[in-house]
Amino acid sequence: MKYIHHYNSPIGGITLASDGKALIGLWFDGQKYFGTTLIGEYQLKNLPVFEQADEWLDIYFSGKEPDFMPLLSMETTPFRKAVWEIMLKIPFGETMTYKEIANEIAKQRGQGHMSAQAVGGAVGHNAISLMIPCHRVVGTKGNLTGYAGGIDKKLWLLEMEKANMTAFLFPQKEQHYSNWK
């Protein structure tokens, strides 16, 4: 049995999922790939991991970096898990490119090259958004490429974390973010 819980964030509703012990999902309501780890039956239930997640989210949305992480269980392929583990290491308020992640995966696997596009697919299918910070992954030239929760949320999150936004470009328009304020 799997369980769900709802959280109201400043940028929209969030649904969390658990296997009863660990967090297996965290999605903005209605985002692309919503509920990918919720196959089968599930029910709404209060669990200690949801209480921890709520506390983590409260701290995070106050603009601070939480100093703890609820127990996470990455129910995914080995490749995606490797990408997600790299994303877990991206510091609060900083970014990493798809290419940098691809280079790290290639290094881990003893390969000369890894496709940044393959990494992009793994990033996009991240089932535990925010805690596994896929919003911190950007294009090589500062492009704010897609985000399953929506590019507007990605921008909001990076700005809330006080990431340096001057080098970022909107995907729809080739101009700097600072020109949009």
Are 1 and 20 in contact by the 8 Å Cβ rule? The answer is yes
Indicate the pTM of the whole model: 0.86
Closest CA to 69 of 22, 107, 16: 22
Mean pLDDT across the chain, nearest whole number? Answer: 87
Q: Out of 10-24, 67-81, 86-100, 111-125, pick the least confident.
A: 111-125
Q: Given the residues 47, 87, 128, 134, select the one marked as catalytic.
A: 134
Q: What are 103's two structure tokens?
A: 């280079």
| Annotation says 7 is catalytic | no
Q: Which stretches does DSSP call E strand in the chain? A: 2-9, 12-18, 23-28, 42-44, 96-97, 137-138
pLDDT digits (tens, 9 = 90+) for 14-49: 999 999 999 999 999 988 777 777 788 889 999 999
Q: What are 35's two structure tokens?
A: 């509920």
Are 16 and 4 in contact by the 8 Å Cβ rule? The answer is yes
pLDDT digits (tens, 9 = 90+) for 93-116: 999 999 999 999 999 988 888 888
Q: Out of 66-75, 129-138, 147-156, pick the least confident.
A: 147-156
Please state, in angstroms and rounded to a whole number, the distance separating the CA atoms of residues 46 and 69: 18
- Classified as helix, coil or strand, 72 is strand
